Chain A
Amino acid sequence: MKEAWFSALGEPLADREKGELAAYLQGLGLNPAMPLRRVSSWPEAGALCSSRSDEWWQAEETERERLERSTKLDPADRDWLDVNSMLHAAAAAAAARAGSEDAALVYVAAGAASYAAYQARLARASGAASGHPFLRKYALYSGGRWPLGMYHGAFAIF
């Protein structure tokens, strides 16, 4: 599938994406049937992820730390850094299309995509199966979404 980072922000979720999200949550040991909150704008995304989301973040970190016990990646790898620059450019382009002029929020979006791409890279390097939650999350990102985390009992996605 062709990657299209940040290209579907604010659009209704397809059933395939809902299924991907449920499987991602289940893979992290979170409730796959939790309500979904569809975020529709950059300011809403920025405000929402300015709240804590500790349960979700910790679930991801536990898995990241488990994978990193056996697999180490070089954060200063040239190709990897080029991917990060591409992600920043994609976030900036999407924000500009939406009329958002919040440079810090572009950094936030680019950082979120970088973290997701790192997690997927880590999962692949560790030989994880295709249904690994980090690979499912990567599929959502590279399909144009920005998963924002769990807030007030619902999972938010832009």
Chain B
Amino acid sequence: MSAYPSVKTVEEFRQQPEDYQAAVRKIVRSHALNELYGAQVFDEPAIRLAPTPYAKWLTCRVAMEEYHHHVRFKELADQIGVRADEMDARHKRPLNIFEVPLESWEQFCVIKMLGDLAEILQVEDLLHCSFVPLRNIARTTMPEEKFHAQFGLDFCVDLVETEPGRARVQKAVNGFYPEVPKFFGASGSRNNQLYRQFGIKLRSNEEMRADYVARAKSTVEPLGISLPTV
């Protein structure tokens, strides 16, 4: 439980110290942009790569939910004073994870399975956030994020039923997974220390990264897939 008192509304947020406000703005902006990048560079283009109408339509719905997550975070960003230029995807360089070019359906399934697992950890860390409007968005989006990761896992389970399919999934894991641990930020991060001090986040970047690696390993190993050494 956070030692920092709950900040229940945007009006109360405006009464908080500037460092608190800046920390919340940074996190909200990061989530808003990540959701947007994910939808733009992975989910929407994957509709074309999906092999069947079933997979295409499912991907379409997932893409729309990711856009909706972006809008939820962006609306909060607007309310708490994040400047428009800071929210413009054309001016803000995306995280490394979003620069992996999407080339195959197998790769997309791996991105949902392992990339959305990383997003789940990030959102989990906000479930008890001291800023209640942000906590509420985390609680709203969490079931959908879990569904998206399950979507990736379910399709990967189907893909690994054949040896060529398993080889394609392994290749996609080898290409994508090494980028994901960086998604949790630097070790010994000053920002992360502030987030925890203010009760915005619960865990250090190192703890989250270690948890992610363990959960990613337990996700892929039953599929006969291994994680490359990072």
Contact = CB atoms under 8 A, between A and B. Distances in A.
Nearest to B70: A76
B52 A53 contact: yes
Interface string B50-89: 0111111111111110011011001000000000000000
Contacts of A78: 71
A46 interface: yes
Given A57-B56, A149-B53, A107 B68 contact: no
B4 interface: no
Interface stretch (A7-15, A19-27, A93-101, A111-119): A111-119
B220 interface: no
Interface string B145-175: 0010001001000000000000000000000
Interface residues of A, number: 27
Contacts of A49: 52-54, 57
A76 B52 CA distance: 25
Interface residues of B, number: 27
B147 A111 contact: no
Of A50, A108, A109, A111, chain B has the most CB atoms within 10 Å of the CB of A111
Interface string A56-96: 01000100000000000001101001001100100000000
Contacts of B60: 111-112, 114-115
B36 interface: yes
Given A53-B52, A78-B71, A107 B64 contact: no
B54 A75 contact: no
Contacts, number: 75
B138 interface: no
Contact of B53 (A57, A103, A110): A57
Contacts of B151: 104, 107
B71 A107 contact: no
Nearest to B47: A115
Nearest to A151: B53
A84 B57 CA distance: 13
B44 interface: yes
Given A76-B67, A85-B68, A111 B52 contact: no
Contacts of B64: 75, 81, 84, 111, 114
Q: 8 tightest A-B contacts by CB? A: A111-B61, A111-B57, A111-B60, A49-B53, A112-B57, A50-B54, A84-B64, A49-B54
28 contacts: A46-B54, A49-B52, A49-B53, A52-B52, A53-B52, A75-B44, A75-B63, A75-B64, A76-B70, A78-B71, A81-B64, A81-B71, A84-B68, A103-B147, A104-B151, A104-B154, A107-B147, A107-B151, A108-B54, A111-B60, A111-B62, A112-B53, A114-B60, A114-B64, A115-B56, A115-B57, A115-B60, A148-B53
Interface of A: 46, 49-53, 57, 61, 75-76, 78, 81, 84-85, 88, 103-104, 107-112, 114-115, 148-149
Interface of B: 36, 39, 44, 47-48, 51-64, 67-68, 70-71, 74, 147, 151, 154
